[in-house]
Amino acid sequence: MNISYNWLKQYLKLDIDVNEAAALLTGSGLEVEKVIPFSSVEGGLEGLVIGEVLTKEKHPDADRLSVTTVNVGGPEPLHIVCGAPNVAAGQKVVVATVGAKLYPSEGEPFEIKKSKIRGAVSEGMICAEDEIGLGESHDGIMVLPAEVKVGTPAADYFEIENDFILEIGLTPNRADAMSHIGVARDLRAVLREVKGGYEDLKLEWPEVMAYSADLKENPIAIDVQDTEAAPRYVGLYIEGVEVKPSPAWLQNRLKAIGSRPINNVVDVTNFVLHEMGQPLHAFDADKIKDNKVVVRSAKAGEKFTTLDEVERDLNENDLMICNASDGMCIAGVFGGANSGVTEGTKNVFLESAYFNPVSIRKTAKRHGLNTDASFRFERGIDPETVVLAAKRAALLIQELAGGKLSVITDIYPNPIPHQKVEVKFENINKLIGQDIPQETVLSILDDLGIYVEKKIEGGLKLSVPSFKNDVTREADVIEEILRVYGYDRIAGSGQLRVPLISSDKKSPEQLRNLVSDALTAQGFNEIMNNSLTKAAYMDKHFAEQGKAKVDILNPLSTDLNAMRQTLLFGGLESVSRNIRHQNANCKFYEFGNLYEKNTQGEWPYNEYRSLALFITGRWQKERWNAPTGNATFHHIHGAVKSILNRLGIEAQLHDVTGTKAYAYGMEFRTNDGKLLANFGLVNSNVLEAFDIDQEVFYADFDWDLVLKLSALNEFEVKELPKYPSVRRDLALFVDKTVKYSQLEQLAYQTERKLLKEVDLFDVYEGKGVPEGKRSYALSFILQDENSTLNDKTIDKTMGRLQQRFEREVGAQLRG
């Protein structure tokens, strides 16, 4: 559950740091898993200012460019080259200064640098709205009103809001904390108990006393036929609303917690849901047949189309909100396709209800639906907040959309009583393991809204508020007292803390064993070759690298006359020997040291550690129940990637450089450009020297760098995604000059939101591939963090990727 810290401070006048607030909430049982900075516009428009175009001249060497001078409030005007057709002297514009990082609506972020464009100096950029994430238009630069003050930070002018999001791992029993006010209630209690100076801190509820009925009757009649599934149902009518986009403050509140703004009416219902924990539903009142709302159980075999345009089969245990003849909404779970508020809506029927948690839970599970509303209803909301939330939402809708309010219809035939619990002071101290002063107990109970009906012998008789539906026994009350009092304040509690995961770093030997075990599990066999090799190997195949080999002064033979500079040749000798002995299917790995002359340092020689992999022949043994096939580029790529993943090392994939050992290959580099590993298909002219006439795939790791990165690395535990990912593949013909890194970069520039991973699983040159071309097979992992992807969205995304590849690098889809 996401909580906006700015939003939270509307109900508590706080002056503490967000991290301190997070620690206090975690200590009280509301575990804050993350504190995430948020800006209503990505990047917060940092480094952008309002400027005035002083002069505009045509660029001497480019017809479509202009050379401008722009006053941004500094000592000297900036010289900026601009390509927008609408730039003119006298305009107030948004200027990105040198060093600013821009986050466009589409594409990757980029930094503004001082540069020369066709010979003219440019010291910034005059921005269009899509270039800074404020819209989609790229027709020209943004032109602001003339009265805007030069030098004003763009973040101030556009009222960019910066916030922190508290990501809380809410347990199922904490229905009382499923809202900003619920969290504020707990934070207030902890502050008053644990931290001094907050004795007068109040929880400020939204004011609803201004609610006044302009319409003395509710035009919509309500008939609740199933009061067991709908114990309380409230409805009101709003006449003459204007549906339009919500103001910035409301959109920012919803965006901060990951909710997409829709329109002012729907946004208000979502705002109140996250404010008070009370789900609401707004219907287009003109679509309610016969002006009648019926709350009933569905009929067996009844069909209903929900908002996602899916037709669902209902059964008699599903509670429905209907008009005189048709269903409009699956109560407490999901709205219907034809009853919601749209731009054309003029009159609204607003629903606020308390539905039976068990009924909602079964319906949501039956239909595979999990919505913000069902999440709260199935855990149990506060039946006494129903009317309050309806009034709050109605007043906000009236403020933002206009309209006249009706009287409220409240059907609550059997009010739910408060739970009565007796608690003994002796049992409080016994269960907690420490004596808690009685005045402290009374103060905590008061802060939590638990009312003391009367004092009894040795204890208290309590009335538990309806929003705390999990507090039903004495032990539950004691748990509430303890979590506010603070687990850390209990003597000896520190002795219970033990590390669950060892933080000790693994030694180089342990890391080597870890990788050896992983490779062995994949069917690899370890080989060990001599550190002495033929100098002719190096002279013929590695001369271009410019590394000085270490010659043996008194060699035993020409086969052992130099120290090895690579594990490749020894491994190929092993492959060749196995093929001659009828073992054509080999998967080998070798750890070994490499040597070269040091032409710069004091010590005359350098020694390095390396890891090599070799794959040739079939990838797996023949089996009656599984297809067999020869090893491919995909297999060596997968083996390399599995090692990096196992060690938790992040690296970027690039086309191979600096070696002619491969017919084609790729390499992994660190973020700062260091070569970590390369791999690919060994060149046929190398294989000929070893009498090998079948494909061999080889990988070479800089093991010293691997050990260094593994020693520095901390493994990160991530939350499992809520929604499934989807994989789609593209096989493309591209020119041999096109690198994989170009395709990867283009893919991420084209789709920033849904594209989570791009991978290369096959490279092919040969029969069927046009001259001068190469075949790349790419996989794309798509995932929406807020919903399940549908085929329409997936196909649209893949179409955009294909078009971008065709346009930018001339790629052709392989048939």
Residue 703 and residue 680: Cα distance in Å, rounded? 18
CA 586 vs CA 581, 616, 634: distances in Å:
12, 5, 16
Greater confidence, 178 or 600? 178
Query: Which whole number is the average pLDDT over 64-74?
Result: 93
pLDDT, mean of residues 130-158: 90
Compute how many other C-beta atoms are within 10 angstroms of the C-beta atom of residue 629: 9
d(CA 785, CA 653): 25
φ/ψ (deg, to 5) at 687: -65, -30
What's residue 714's pLDDT?
A: 56
Mean pLDDT in residue range 661-687? 89
- Say if residue 492's pLDDT is above 70: no
Distance in angstroms (rounded) separating the CA atoms of residues 258 and 255: 5
Q: Report the distance separating Cα 51 and Cα 90, nearest Å.
A: 10
**Quick one: pLDDT at residue 542?**
63
Is the distance from CB of 547 to CB of 596 less than 8 angstroms?
A: yes
CB count, 10 Å around CB of 7?
A: 23
Burial 636-651 (b: 16+ CB within 10 A, else e): bbebbbebbeebebeb
Tell me the per-residue pLDDT of 778-795, one tens digit each, with 9 for 90 and over: 999 999 988 899 999 999
Rg (CA), the chain: 34
Per-residue pLDDT tens digits for 447-459: 999 999 999 999 9
Band (499; pLDDT cuts 50, 70, 90): very low
Compute the distance between CA of residue 80 and CA of residue 67 in angstroms, rounded to an integer.
6
Position 464 scores a pLDDT of 93
At 95 the pLDDT is 95
pLDDT at 560 over 80: yes
Q: Is the pLDDT of residue 189 over 50?
A: yes
* DSSP calls for 636-673: HHHHHHHHHHHTT---EEEE--S-SSEEEEEEEE-TT-
Read off the pLDDT band of 498 (50, 70, 90).
Answer: very low
Question: Which residue(s) pair with 126 in the sheet?
Answer: 95
| Six token digits for residue 643 | 């090692």
C-alpha closest to that of 815 among 727, 736, 730, 726: 730
pLDDT above 50 (res 652):
yes
Segment 37-68, tens digit of pLDDT: 888 888 889 999 999 999 999 998 888 899 99
Q: Are 670 and 709 in contact (CB under 8 A)?
A: yes
Q: Is the pLDDT of residue 496 over 50?
A: no
* 62: three-class secondary structure by DSSP: coil
Kindly report the pTM of this predicted structure. Answer: 0.60
Q: What is the DSSP letter of 515?
A: H
451-456: strand order across its sheet: 419-424, 459-464, 451-456
Arithmetic mean of pLDDT, 112-134: 91
Q: Which of 393-397, 641-645, 706-710 has the highest mean pLDDT?
A: 393-397
Q: What is the pLDDT of residues 724-783, one digit of tens each?
A: 999 999 999 999 888 888 898 899 889 988 999 998 888 888 888 888 898 989 999 999
pLDDT at 495 over 80: no
> What span, in angstroms and rounded, lies between the C-alpha atoms of 484 and 16?
18
pLDDT at 544: 47
Overall average pLDDT of the 705-726 stretch: 77
| pLDDT tens-digit readout, 470-488 | 899 999 999 999 998 888 8
Confidence of residue 545 (pLDDT cuts 50, 70, 90): low
Length of the chain: 815
Per the prediction, the chain carries an average pLDDT of: 89
Whole-angstrom Cα distance, residue 300 to residue 585?
Answer: 62
pLDDT digits (tens, 9 = 90+) for 304-326: 999 888 999 999 999 999 999 89
Output the DSSP codes for 80-126.
EEE--TT--TT-EEEEEETT-EE--SSS--EE---EEETTEEE-EEE
Partners of 327 in the beta sheet? 322
- Mean pLDDT, rounded, for 571-587: 94
339 close to 220: Cβ distance less than 8 angstroms: no
Residues forming a β-bridge with 764: 775
| DSSP 8-state assignment for residue 461 | E
Q: Is residue 716 very low, low, confident or very high in pLDDT (cuts 50, 70, 90)? A: low
Here the tokens at position 125 are 């950029």
What is the residue type of 517?
A: D
- Give the closest residue to 330 by CA, choosing from 304, 310, 349: 304
